[in-house]
Structure 1
């Protein structure tokens, strides 16, 4: 680095000279307030004589200030040069510059797609008071896939090597997400043309890479002439993951026929997530690699899909009247290993239909009940559902209530129905993981269920995150009773769930620290956990936290490599009243 020429930053001492005394300035202010009438003629003459020399001194100050400002400006400029040079020297030796391109590319992929968080629920536009506001808020800021290309361009502008890597890596351009709802209720033709241009560019840059396609529109047929779907269909031989959300009613997807070129040309398709699928649509009937399917409301009655090869099926936004259709469809799926019901709405009791008996060999079964304020919340509802199913080979069972609105509350736990399900499904031989979230179940009821699950290895439970004000402390599942019931002591005899290797909870921390510590100590003793450290996490609701002493005691087990522990705040829970 060349030495910087020395710059003189001083022009010698600056003499301020005599300044008016405070008493003189006060006397002058008094004269000014009296409009000069209180001053003697001699004093007025003296003030007139002071004008010229004082003005000269002001000019000297101005000149000195200008010189100092010039010096300061040069110092700031030189400082910026030095700082830029220091940053460049640090950057050239940064570890990220030594990463191989393939690893750097993986980092880019994670960073890019974490920027896109399109919602999965139908958006409300009632708060948009005018089209102009809507355009400013949505189209100009986050319209469609534009955010992705903004982030890609930023990466490409870092340096020449990054630009070459970004532009020459088809994998970065292989995920195409189009959310037409960001354009608002009535997009203009130029907006649609822009979408087509961006999609065309992404398809060209993705070369031969397998594609991930995401299309969302509440009324795709109203928005466009199908040009975007037609464009995507011409590349259906590269589709690997496809998600299409077309609104809650079948007639919304008027241009579904634009997918016709894809029929019989889906050699790579593995995952399909679709809503509004017309009953007579057979575009996805031939897809040799399709193993994962998600159907959203409305559920097609006679969907033409390769049911016989599917291994994982999810249904989203289910209603009781859909269950007979769903059970009929599942009878054609001999290879299914994972089944999930998301947003299974709970209606009034009189609307709950008779559910056909359902016997399945799935490994994983997930049910997420959705309770809306005002819906019936009786045990008979979940009883009827559990009594209709038999899971002969189930290894993982997940039961959860999702509360919509502040006046909706978790469903009560059906102890008899679950014990009957456990018995006829032989859970004592098969069940390895049990997850019970946001259900109104007591510690005693859960311990009774666990007594018949000797092979259980993982348990996830939670305190309900909503409940009526009339409820008492009984709603807390994660309490001393539960922890003591899971603790092995010399006098306790046979240990409950002896193979338990993982315990996770979402909690209001309504238990004593010693109860939790004793539970952990009993699970990390000699001869236990041959497969590795015992795993336990606490997700505490808002307003609570893990006490420092408890964290310190748990860290001792972690240091001895007997425990893997994790604490984190879970913001889903309601804040407790002081009582």
Structure 2
């Protein structure tokens, strides 16, 4: 018969009583000793009683444990229900519920995955289907009815249309009947949901087939809403394209050869930026006179094609910017280019080189020897971060280009990210007394190619007349950005900053300085130096940014 008792551990009432069976921990060694021998326990020992009554006592303990476990489980369940209720009540006062729909819509757009807005060479057919279906948007609709309504009734969330029909085909590129009907329905839904708002269209196909034709026609039917268009397909596909009243940026990629007589892109009164990948002869007619920039991507290089590409700068208005992406590995100097004279105001080159065995310096030399740009105010020379080789600087050819073009009277912005010695850079900077913006980087760790040193900073420091042994370089400098392996001292950098802040130019607006480090280097200023810079920023005399170079590709973890 069970009798209520009190648990010695917690003081709670329990039906479980202490076991009447004797248990002595000191007796265990004696029991173990018996087991190691052949001695039989005495007949009057209590061991037999334990064997008989022990299982009953253990069962009582198990029953009590089960009962307590049920109580614990019940308490946990009640606690979970209460927690859910409390969280729900708190959610009623959540700050996100107070956000207006317009702000939530912007958050949704900013948080959209990159794969939903940009193609990749590694995209799979499944990823293409998810992108067409806007799956990430439908995940948001599951949060609450309000979010569901925002997603389904906000046209701008559906206005980024990315289509790659090449991924619709079977692995063997066979066209099964009606295979792409589902893809087309998804595309049609996005176009319908986007309403009348401007579209960003990204279309790419390797070879035209019926499904791709239907998709492209659906997009071209909405050409009046195109704001930015990235089109990678044969140009002949667009002959029936209508007017483009809203188009501001156009990217075309065409691998065909021969001359192009396509004129449909001329009907784009708002077009300001044009990018083209392919032969110069394939560039279609566009409203050149209104363009602000033209980028010729990945030019398939030989000297003749390079010359034809450079000749395209004549099409731009004087205020325009010409950007040339040059694959240096495909060229074999020496060669001469046709002389090119242009009143262009801005020129940029993206230089790709994978092999140091190529005469990279000779190629740039040929380009500079051909150019004359007397009204140039911006010159940028960029390296391709994804290519291992870094072009060398053709100093003599560049000096001739500067003298021929009288760049000392016009250049105000100079950006250089290729291999140049400190001495050559100092000579270049001495040619540009009107320079206001300077952006440079240490391209290698080799001593002769490290640019950002105490020597450079000292030459850029404006000193009092009594202390000045040489005149400072670029006295009008107002924006200075470096990507560096940080071989300079804090004090020299501080003296440079302070001297620029005390110049007459700094009184008009804050001096701007950017200091970025390149892997694997990293650096912070001393506490005193940091406090000085913070004070200048607070006084609005300095705009300063410091950190890892945002343009340098991240190394895999």
TM-score normalised to structure 2 length: 0.84
Equivalence for 1:445: 424
C-alpha separation between the residues in 2 aligned to 1:325 and 1:16?
101
Contact 1:450/1:497 (CA < 8 Å) preserved in 2?
Answer: yes
C-alpha separation between the residues in 2 aligned to 1:236 and 1:452?
48
What per-residue deviation string (whole Å, max 9, x for no partner) do you get for residues 59-79 of structure 1? 222223223323332333343
C-alpha separation between the residues in 1 aligned to 2:543 and 2:400?
35
C-alpha separation between the residues in 1 aligned to 2:70 and 2:509?
68
1:97 deviates by 2.8
C-alpha separation between the residues in 1 aligned to 2:521 and 2:58?
64
Equivalence for 2:339: 357
Contact 1:144/1:180 (CA < 8 Å) preserved in 2?
Answer: no
1:562 deviates by 2.3
1:572 deviates by 7.1
What per-residue deviation string (whole Å, max 9, x for no partner) do you get for residues 163-185 of structure 1? 22221111111110123566685
Gaps of 5+ in 2: 1-9
- The one of 358, 375, 381 equivalent to 1:393 is 375
1:483 deviates by 0.9
Contact 2:516/2:548 (CA < 8 Å) preserved in 1?
Answer: yes
1:223 deviates by 8.5
Equivalence for 1:91: 91
1:367 deviates by 0.3
Equivalence for 2:271: 290
C-alpha separation between the residues in 1 aligned to 2:372 and 2:396?
15
What per-residue deviation string (whole Å, max 9, x for no partner) do you get for residues 239-264 of structure 1? 22110224xxxxxx4xx6553442x4
- The one of 218, 222, 225 equivalent to 1:235 is 222
SS in structure 1 opposite 2:244?
Answer: coil
Contact 1:310/1:333 (CA < 8 Å) preserved in 2?
Answer: yes
C-alpha separation between the residues in 1 aligned to 2:451 and 2:480?
14
Equivalence for 1:5: none
Deviates more, 1:273-282 or 1:366-375: 273-282
Equivalence for 1:207: 195
1:299 deviates by 4.2
Equivalence for 1:474: 448
Equivalence for 2:6: none
Change (3 A) 1:225 1:518: closer
Change (3 A) 1:553 1:64: farther
How many residue pairs match? The answer is 530
Change (3 A) 1:537 1:58: farther
SS in structure 2 opposite 1:349?
Answer: coil
Contact 1:412/1:440 (CA < 8 Å) preserved in 2?
Answer: yes
In the alignment, structure 1 residue 160 sits paired with structure 2 residue 137: no
Equivalence for 1:270: 248
- The one of 428, 445, 448 equivalent to 2:408 is 428
C-alpha separation between the residues in 2 aligned to 1:44 and 1:566?
90
Contact 2:163/2:204 (CA < 8 Å) preserved in 1?
Answer: yes
Change (3 A) 1:485 1:335: closer
1:571 deviates by 7.8
What per-residue deviation string (whole Å, max 9, x for no partner) do you get for residues 159-211 of structure 1? 22222222111111111012356668546757633321211110010111111
1:398 deviates by 0.9
Deviates more, 1:176-185 or 1:422-431: 176-185
Contact 2:116/2:134 (CA < 8 Å) preserved in 1?
Answer: no
Contact 2:152/2:193 (CA < 8 Å) preserved in 1?
Answer: yes
Equivalence for 2:438: 459
Mapping for residues 135-284 of structure 1, pairs under 5 Å: 138-140=124-126, 142-144=127-129, 146=131, 149-180=134-165, 185-186=171-172, 189=176, 192-217=180-205, 219-221=206-208, 224-246=211-233, 253=234, 257-262=236-241, 264-276=242-254, 278=256, 279-284=260-265
Change (3 A) 1:81 1:349: same
Contact 1:113/1:148 (CA < 8 Å) preserved in 2?
Answer: no
Change (3 A) 1:113 1:454: farther
TM-score normalised to structure 1 length: 0.81
SS in structure 1 opposite 2:124?
Answer: helix
Equivalence for 2:482: 505
In the alignment, structure 1 residue 333 sits paired with structure 2 residue 316: yes
Deviates more, 1:521-530 or 1:359-368: 521-530
Gaps of 5+ in 1: 1-8, 124-136, 247-252
C-alpha separation between the residues in 2 aligned to 1:117 and 1:399?
29
What per-residue deviation string (whole Å, max 9, x for no partner) do you get for residues 387-435 of structure 1? 2122333332210222655xx4312212222233233333333322211
Equivalence for 1:128: none
Equivalence for 1:6: none
C-alpha separation between the residues in 1 aligned to 2:225 and 2:50?
90
SS in structure 2 opposite 1:60?
Answer: helix
Change (3 A) 1:552 1:69: farther
1:505 deviates by 1.0
Contact 2:381/2:415 (CA < 8 Å) preserved in 1?
Answer: yes
Equivalence for 2:3: none
